[in-house]
């Protein structure tokens, strides 16, 4: 059974050029231990944060970095799974390139439960730069049943599409995780606006985790602008601003906040506004076409 209150740590990750894979693992272990000691039960890392692993190459071209990280993904996953079990936390690992059996590369985020169960959400809609990189659209769209509640993942650009997130919420998601990687302030503004809009439309929580700062050694994540945040539907009796917590732009570290799940269902039927339940009153509203797989990580 899920709990009502969930303490979340969402990362503003500054990618570093680390000389060895052991240093990468030590950094990740320290980050997880710090968040767990602060009482976090759900730890969220950003989109393409896994590209930090490629720092061991030194300066490199894009294809080299993507190939190295894709090859190392199983080792990275095993380490994240062990950390989740050790600290009894759920971890959304930093997304990165994952190789499919047909040779295509997708952008995959992995959610690790303390039990050892893992759920994978691939990015569904590619940005122009991902098309240039040769990253393929993934799938399917999923929602994950956990002891913390029903969790969905919308990787960066995916969060900007209302019907995609709506389908996940209709499948049960109440916490939507949005790992992001944006180069400009405009990208940060889009993701923030999308996160707030999705929380309002769907009477759910959204959690943004960005890469921040410069990593000039990497052609993939060379410049990053963002701020972590946890957002809720704005309601006078619940969260007046719609912002539970928000970090300072480009300041590395954890941002902590708590979400309370039972009030969401109260808002649906008796809130100041009732966007989730009134969704179908929109002109042109129709049954959603997105199929969503529900996967248990219990």
Q: Are strands 90-92 and 105-112 parallel, antiparallel or unpaired?
A: antiparallel
Edge to edge, the sheet with strand 175-180 lists 243-246, 229-231, 205-210, 175-180, 149-153, 141-146, 292-296
Q: Which of 121, 127, 70, 130 is nearest to 93 (CA)?
A: 121
Residue 283 reports pLDDT greater than 70: yes
Q: Which of 117, 118, 101 is nearest to 109 (CA)?
A: 118
Q: How far apart are CA 180 and CA 209, in angstroms?
A: 6
Count of alpha carbons within 13 Å of 174, Cβ hemisphere only?
A: 20
133-167 pLDDT, tens digit each: 999 999 999 999 999 999 999 999 999 999 999 99
pLDDT score for 122: 98
Q: Which of 121, 137, 124, 135 is nearest to 62 (CA)?
A: 135
Residue 1 reports pLDDT greater than 50: no
Element (H, E) at 208: strand 205-210
Q: Is the pTM of this model over 0.85?
A: yes
Lowest mean pLDDT among 90-99, 112-121, 152-161, 231-240: 231-240
Mean pLDDT of 206-212: 98
């Amino acid at each position: 059974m899920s709990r009502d209150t969930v303490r979340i740590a969402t990362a503003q990750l500054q990618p570093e050029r680390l000389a060895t894979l052991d240093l990468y693992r030590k950094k990740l272990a320290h980050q997880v231990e710090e968040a767990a000691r602060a009482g976090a039960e759900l730890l969220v890392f950003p989109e393409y944060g896994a590209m930090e692993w490629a720092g061991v190459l030194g300066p490199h071209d894009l294809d080299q970095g993507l190939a190295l990280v894709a090859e190392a993904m199983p080792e990275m996953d095993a380490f994240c799974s062990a950390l989740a079990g050790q600290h009894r936390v759920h971890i959304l690992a930093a997304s990165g390139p994952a190789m499919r059996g047909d040779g295509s590369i997708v952008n995959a985020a992995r959610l690790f439960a303390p039990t050892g169960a893992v759920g994978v959400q691939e990015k569904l809609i590619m940005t122009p730069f991902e098309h240039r990189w040769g990253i393929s659209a993934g799938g399917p769209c999923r929602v994950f049943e956990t002891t913390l509640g029903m969790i969905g993942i919308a990787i960066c650009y995916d969060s900007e599409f209302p019907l995609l997130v709506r389908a996940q919420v209709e499948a049960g998601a109440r916490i939507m995780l949005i790992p992001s990687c944006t180069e400009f302030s405009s990208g940060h503004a889009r993701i923030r606006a999308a996160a707030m809009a999705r929380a309002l439309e769907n009477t759910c929580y959204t959690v943004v985790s960005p890469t921040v700062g410069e990593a000039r050694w990497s052609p993939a994540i060379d410049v990053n602008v963002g701020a972590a945040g946890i957002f809720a539907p704005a309601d006078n009796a619940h969260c007046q601003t719609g912002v539970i917590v928000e970090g300072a732009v480009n300041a590395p570290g954890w941002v902590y906040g708590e979400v309370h799940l039972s009030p969401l269902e109260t808002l649906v039927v008796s809130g100041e506004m009732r966007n989730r339940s009134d969704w179908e009153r929109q002109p042109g509203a129709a049954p959603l076409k997105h199929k969503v797989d529900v996967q248990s990580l219990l």
